[in-house]
Structure 1
Amino acid sequence: MAVVCTGILAASIIMPSYGDYWLARRNLDRVQRYRLVLDAANRLSAERGPSNAVMGIMDLPTDDAKRQLVQFRAASDAAIEAIANPIAPNRESIDHPIPLRFLEQTNTQLKSARAEVDRVANLPLGQRRLEDVQLAIEGMFAVVDNFQSIVAWNVDDLVDADDGIAASVLIGHMLSDLREYGGRIASQIMAPIATRHPLERKHLIDSSRTRGRLNELWRLVGGQDAIFRSDARLIGKREEIERVFFGEGLEMFDALVTEGRNSGNYSLTAEEFTRRFVKTLQPLESLRSEFLNVKIDELMQTRDRALRTLLMVIAITTAILVILASLVRMVHRSVLSPLLQARDEVIGLAEDQPVQLGNPAQYAGEMRRLFDAIQILRGKLRERARLTDKLKEQAETDGLTGLFNRRTLDLIGQSKAKADGQAETACLVLIDIDYFKLVNDTYGHQAGDQVLREVAALFRSMLRPTDVIARFGGEEFAVLLSGDLLSDVVMRARRLRLALQRHEIVLADGARLNMTASFGVASGPLGAEEWPRLIKAADIALYRAKSEGRNRVRFAAGTELDEP
């Protein structure tokens, strides 16, 4: 009985230690496999560089350019093969392999995108159309976007497996996205540079949105001091990224955007821009790589500590079992056996009735490790996830409302969306919150800021993804809608007005406000010359709405739009 109880006790001590070791080993294997997935995503992103370069060479691609492209493609293929057939140190590391359908989709799409790049690159420069180069670049974008399903699947798998590694997994994902968007923003203006065309409205909008994502990701990652102080390998990475990429790299990008907005005469060729810009991406990739190295090293240390603990527990438990077994044998042989024999003899002489001796042993042992700490960590991660989702949903350009600012709206309105040079027709809605100054004077500027944020969120929730909404200045907002009739836009403006009128805003002190707004709607072409006239027409309509009593929608008549 004593041996059985001791065995149960030994198992209860050893099994939790073995469970810790098994979890640490599995987490290490999974994070190492996750690192392969992020490496593959990075290789696919990096392949765009030499692809852009060969399509931007003034003549047919040189042998050096072709050789570099072949090397990058081979690196991408090897990275995909590494996650398709991982070298597993143990069976537990491959209990959830990457679904093959994801990899097959990526390989099929990658083959098609490469064929399009080769076709465009082999065309003489005079025959390379802007549309062909843009299509080839977007094909490589699609490969990376499709591969993100693999990354997302892997992230979900790791987060569900253990909350203890969720934070590192999510930060690694954000660092990988930072590198992807850093390269993508250059590729989004590469087609006009390669074909020596001015930038179109699409390029400006796409690159502006990517710029916002870059700034948002860097705000999330760069603002966490703990990341950059956790290991000597990460010290100085933040300053290097801000100096090299956000400084030199984006300054180079902004200079080319300015040249492309004014004309098609760029100071750099596509090949030169690619070569110089790729160098500024190296700090981003270095941060991602070193961060994962640090986390993998920490997991290795955790695994080794768990293994040492397990071996120590086994050794101690074995020693206790040996000592206890020896003591039991000695007591049984030296004490119990004679007593039992004497008792049996007494009983046999007296009553001849056997009496069983009891020798109960009480053991107390409990092994509950880290549950309270894990529960606290889960709550913290959930709180961080909610904050991350909230920040990612916010736009980058306007710090208060999260909307585009006036400068971005002007860039969109002054650009031409059509390749033939014809200006696109659009509707502009100018919105002015009624009596907003009274809110600031009565409740303070913090309350005014809250009103602006809530009005912006309300309007954005009622607009389509293709509509452009911006903070026009102060308490004014602007909405730009393409492809709609003026009458339809007027009806939509009225719905916005009614929604705001019915929306109740509760201030921090409990005060409840119902705000209204005046709307001015105008329709007209976009373009550098036409945009100010469209703004003026909408502003005239807005002024009429305010002068006629506010909280109403007015639209510009044809005579107002035609004014010089």
Structure 2
Amino acid sequence: MRLTRLFGVAGAVLALLVCGMLGRLLWGEWQHYSATDSGRHTLRLMRHSMVAAEKLSSERGPVNGVLGDRAPADPARREGLLRARAATDQALAELQQALAGGARTSVLAPLYEALRAARLTVDRLAALPPAERTPERLTAAVDAMFGLVPLALDTVTGYTRASEDIYPRIARILMKVRFAVELREYAGRLGSALTVPLARRQPLTEADRRQLQFLRGRIEQLRQLIKMPSSDADHDPRVLAAVARMDMVYFGPGQQLVAGVEQASREGQGYDMDTAQFARRYVPSMAPILALRDVLLEQAQEQARQDYDAARRELMLALLIGAAILLSLALLLLIVRRRVAVPLLHATAAAVRLGNGDYTLDTLAHRGADRADEIGDMLRALSTLRANSMERQRLEQERGHLIEELRVSADTDYLTGILNRRAFTAAGNQRLRGACGRNEALAVILFDIDHFKSVNDSYGHDAGDQVLIRIAGVVRTLLRDGEIVARYGGEEFVVMPSHCGMDSARALAERLREAIAGEPLTLADGHILRVTASFGVAVAHGPYAALDDLFHAADLALYRAKSGGRNRVEVQA
């Protein structure tokens, strides 16, 4: 073939390729534009799902009130339960309407079935005399209501992930929205955990206390995850105000109300409220959590609107660029072999996706893997590289998880959950070096439990373990962020305050001593055990301070405290 004809053919082929590429680009931009528009609807669905979960959780308050009431239930409380159920039904109806029928509404079928069963269980139990409402029956009814919220949250999770796929930039905001939804649910579970004791007018069992401790831990974990800075949205005044309101209301009076019930149980006092009265005081304290969720959702919707506007601008720009390329194509003549160019373009795009971590290459691999030329070799190599990359990524993730688990296990005391001696020594040396570099004083408070051996001898090692766990919890509640506490060995504990001189360290030791002495422990057999502790305080200052010398001085002070009568604080001589 003559070169001119070859050039003409090559130009025509190139024109077709460029037009195809432009069409693909414009189609992709159009799909992105359409996806951002539908994504806003997805966010609205997610909001409806969260509201439905909220109403299901809120319904538990009136349920607890009716279950703890006489039979037949007080008409006002029964009316409150009916209003709560009507609000739940309305939220679910709005969610179903937002789904616009079709196959997607089938996800609500298990929720409706479980809701009917749970309400029937509650109604049957409320109709029984209070004496027949056994703890097992009450627990079963409460658990049935608990099981409803995860079903609703499953739809929340699905819509949240869909929104994150469409709007990657708001993934962190949506993650905190999920945290807020979970925090509201666990806060509701914390209140519902007191339903059986309040309804039966009986003290909290050890299982109840463990459950409350677990729920508090999860609530605090979610609180810290919400407050942890992860995006520019965390500095928005609306978010900061909503977080502050949540801290002031729920983590203030709300948590104090639960603590008051626990305190009354520990002291053997009667409860001054029933389940309905508790719900009326506790449920409003959770409202700021929902307000925070709504603020975060508003930010996500604002970001979605911005992404939608950006997608529209990008589509217009793509149209202009496409027109410019087509106009410029008339001036270009390239010699391209059709058998190489098209597959090579596809292979290049596949390699780029693989380099970016996108391993969805199955279709491409099957399209040309049977070719007996270099292109076929390339596609087969890409498929092999994809498989190897996925396996390496999986192994690296597993390795990271194992390293993290080993690190946490090595640094934590298995019984009390605080630092062990090894971890404390490492942290203490690091803090001592920093204090010496800044020419600051560093204090150590060493204390152990008085007559701890007699506790083990008299009540058993389980009681001794309870004492250690309780004292660790008391100390942690009194320490500020940045202050270190560890179990140094046996019944001996060590505290390292931050930026603390002798007077402040001694004052802190006194507070710890008073808190330990004033916090009785109710054993499983009903005995109330009071323990005390003796404290030794030492302070190091200067560039040549050593942690061993500081511990030795604190140990001598502790020895003087124990020799002087115990349950006292002594400082280094």
Equivalent residue number for residue 412 of structure 2: 401
8 Å contact from structure 2 (residues 183, 222) kept in 1: yes
Partner of 1:295: 300
Match of 1:213 in 2: 218
Q: 1:115 to 1:259 in 2, by over 3 A?
A: same
The residue aligned with 1:40 is: 52
Report Cα offsets for 1:227-278 as digits up to 9, x if no partner.
Answer: 6645443231111111100011001110111112333611222111101111
Report if aligned partners of 2:77, 2:276 keep a CA contact under 8 Å in 1. Answer: no
- Contact kept, 8 Å, 2:179 with 2:226, in 1: the verdict is yes
Query: Would the aligned equivalents of 2:118 and 2:145 in 1 still touch at CA under 8 Å?
Result: yes
Is the 2:45–2:98 Cα contact (8 Å) retained in structure 1? yes
Q: Pick from 117, 120, 123: which aligns with 1:115?
A: 120
Indicate conservation of the 8 Å contact 2:177/2:296, yes or no: yes
Q: Does 1:234 align with 2:239?
A: yes
Match of residue 76 from structure 2: 64
Q: Secondary structure of 2:57's match?
A: helix
- Cα 1:195–1:221 change in 2 (3 A) is same
- Contact map agreement 1:403 1:469 (CA 8 A) in 2: no
Q: CA deviation at 1:116?
A: 1.8
Matches of 1:319 and 1:160, distance apart in 2: 31
Determine if the alignment matches structure 1 residue 174 to structure 2 residue 179: yes
- The correspondence for 1:280, drawn from 278, 282, 285, is 285
Structure 2 vs 1, CA of residues 265 and 400 (structure 1 numbering), >3 Å: closer, same or farther?
Answer: farther
Shift of 1:81: 4.1
Paired AA for residue 119 in structure 2: R
TM-superposition CA deviations, 1:362-415 (whole Å, max 9, x none): 8xxx9x9xx99x9699xxxx9xx99x999x999x9x9973866399xxxxxxxx
Q: Quick one: structure 1 residues 440 and 176, their matched pair in 2 at CA, closer, same or farther if it must change by over 3 Å?
A: closer
Identify the match of residue 14 of structure 1 among 26, 37, 45: 26
Tell me the equivalent position of 1:262: 267
Q: Are 2:147 and 1:142 aligned?
A: yes
Q: How does 1:76-475 map to 2 (within 5 A)?
A: 76-84=88-96, 86-87=98-99, 97=104, 100=106, 103-154=108-159, 163-224=168-229, 226=231, 229-263=234-268, 265-311=270-316, 313-314=318-319, 360=332, 401=412, 405=416, 445=428, 474-475=487-488
Q: Which amino acid aligns with 2:487?
A: G
Q: Shift of residue 44 of structure 1?
A: 1.3
Q: Distance in 2 between matches of 1:470 and 1:153?
A: 43
For 2:234 and 2:158, locate their aligned partners in 1 and report how far apart those are by CA, in whole Å. 30
Whole-Å Cα distance in 1 between the matches of residues 270 and 467 of structure 2? 31
Give the direction of change, closer, same or farther, for the CA distance of 1:152–1:312 in structure 2 (3 Å limit). closer
Distance 1:403 1:150 in 2: 37
| 1:193–1:264 contact (8 Å) kept in structure 2 | no
Partner of 1:527: 525
Q: 1:406 to 1:529 in 2, by over 3 A?
A: farther
Whole-angstrom distance in 2 between the partners of 1:236 and 1:30: 27
Shift of 1:134: 2.6
Give the residue type in structure 2 aligned to 1:173: R
Larger radius of gyration: 1
Alpha carbons of structure 1 residues 228 and 152: separation in structure 2 relative to 1, 3 Å = closer
Asked if the contact 2:42/2:159 (under 8 Å) is kept, the reply is: no
Q: CA deviation at 1:117?
A: 1.4
Cα separation, 1, equivalents of 2:22 and 2:332? 18
Q: Which runs of 5+ in 1 are unaligned?
A: 329-358, 408-431, 449-466, 479-524, 534-564
SS at match of 2:145: helix
Are the structure 2 counterparts of residues 103 and 185 from structure 1 closer, same or farther at C-alpha, using a change threshold of 3 Å? same
Instruction: Describe how 1:498-537 pairs up with structure 2 within 5 A.
Output: 526-529=524-527
Deviation at 1:18, TM superposition (A): 1.9
Match for 2:276: what amino acid? E
The question of whether the paired residues in 2 share the 8 Å contact of 1:50 and 1:69 is answered with: yes
Equivalents in 2 of 1:405, 1:291: separation in Å?
36
For residue 527 of structure 2, what is the amino acid of its counterpart?
Answer: E
Assess if the C-alpha contact under 8 Å between 1:17 and 1:306 holds in 2.
yes
- d(CA) in 2 for partners of 1:233 and 1:299? 18
Q: Distance in 2 between matches of 1:389 and 1:31?
A: 32
The gaps in structure 2 that reach 5 residues or longer are 1-11, 335-344, 359-393, 432-464, 473-485, 492-522, 532-573
Give the 3 Å change call, closer, same or farther, for CA 141–87 of structure 1 in structure 2.
closer
**1:55 maps to which residue?**
67
Partner SS, residue 147 of structure 2: helix
Distance in structure 2 (CA, Å) of the matches to 1:215 and 1:389: 23
Aligned to 2:5: none
Structure 1 residue 224, shift from structure 2 partner: 2.1
- Pick closer, same or farther for the CA change 1:161–1:37 going to 2, 3 Å: same
Amino acid at match of 1:405: T
Distance 2:274 2:253 in 1: 17
Q: Percent identity?
A: 23
Structure 1 residue 68: Cα displacement: 2.7
TM-score by length of 2: 0.55
Q: Contact 2:33 / 2:312 at 8 angstroms: preserved in 1?
A: yes
User: What letter matches 1:529 in structure 2?
Assistant: H
Does the 8 Å CA contact 1:244/1:283 hold for their aligned counterparts?
yes
Q: Report SS of the residue matched to 2:98.
A: coil
Which amino acid is 1:105 matched to? P
Task: Summarize the Cα distance change of 1:406–1:156 in structure 2 as closer, same or farther, 3 Å threshold.
Answer: closer
Give the one of 13, 36, 49 matched to 1:24.
36
Alpha-carbon distance, 1:60 to partner: 3.4
Between the two proteins, the alignment pairs up a number of residues equal to: 387
Provide the secondary structure at the position in 2 that maps to 1:197. coil
Give distance in 1, aligned partners of 2:424 and 2:22.
71
- Letter aligned with residue 209 of structure 2: L
Aligned-residue offset at 1:21? 1.3
Post-superposition CA distance 1:408-458 (Å, at most 9, x none): xxxxxxxxxxxxxxxxxxxxxxxx99xx68x978x774699xxxxxxxxxx
Deviates more, 1:162-171 or 1:241-250: 162-171
Q: Output the aligned Cα RMSD.
A: 5.0
| TM-aligned CA deviation for residue 125 of structure 1 | 4.0
| Alpha-carbon distance in structure 2 between the residues aligned to 1:265 and 1:218 | 32
